[in-house]
Amino acid sequence: MRRAYLFYYSIAALSGGLLIYLIEYLKIEIPSVIRSYVPDALWASSFMACICWIWHDTVKPCFFWIILSIFVMISFEFFQYRGWISGTADLTDALIYVTFSLPFIILLYK
């Protein structure tokens, strides 16, 4: 994938997540599944695209940062579950993070 596409995708996905919160802020009713999980999915994929954009020509550092990022995202949910940080732990959030990060790992091998 061309480097510019990764940048544009990252910006679009980040903007899409923000748009969902803006819609909710404007008191427009949206389903709770969309409100709860779609921003996380878009932001996770935006972050992965940004990592791939930064490390575009070097597979090993890109792979390292993607795996580290997935680990941190899952750890964040675990820390919430244990009560070490505030928030509500949600297994679905962790699955969303992994699911929307996997295409970028596959992209590295192409």
For the chain, the domains span 3-108
What are the pLDDT digits (tens) for 24-33?
999 999 999 9
Rg of the chain taking only CA atoms, in angstroms = 15
Average pLDDT over residues 100-107: 89
Res 1 pLDDT > 80 = no
Confidence of residue 50 (pLDDT cuts 50, 70, 90): very high
Quick one: how many helices (H) and strands (E) in the chain?
A: 4, 0
pLDDT of residue 42: 96
Supply the mean pLDDT for the chain.
92
> How high is the pLDDT of residue 58?
87
What pLDDT is recorded for position 59? Answer: 86
Structure token pair of residue 52: 């791939």
Q: Residue 106: which pLDDT band, with cuts at 50, 70 and 90?
A: confident
pLDDT classification of 57: cutoffs 50, 70, 90: confident
Predicted pLDDT of residue 94: 95
Q: What is the token pair recorded at 61? A: 């550092």
One-letter amino acid at 49 equals A
DSSP conformation class of 85: S
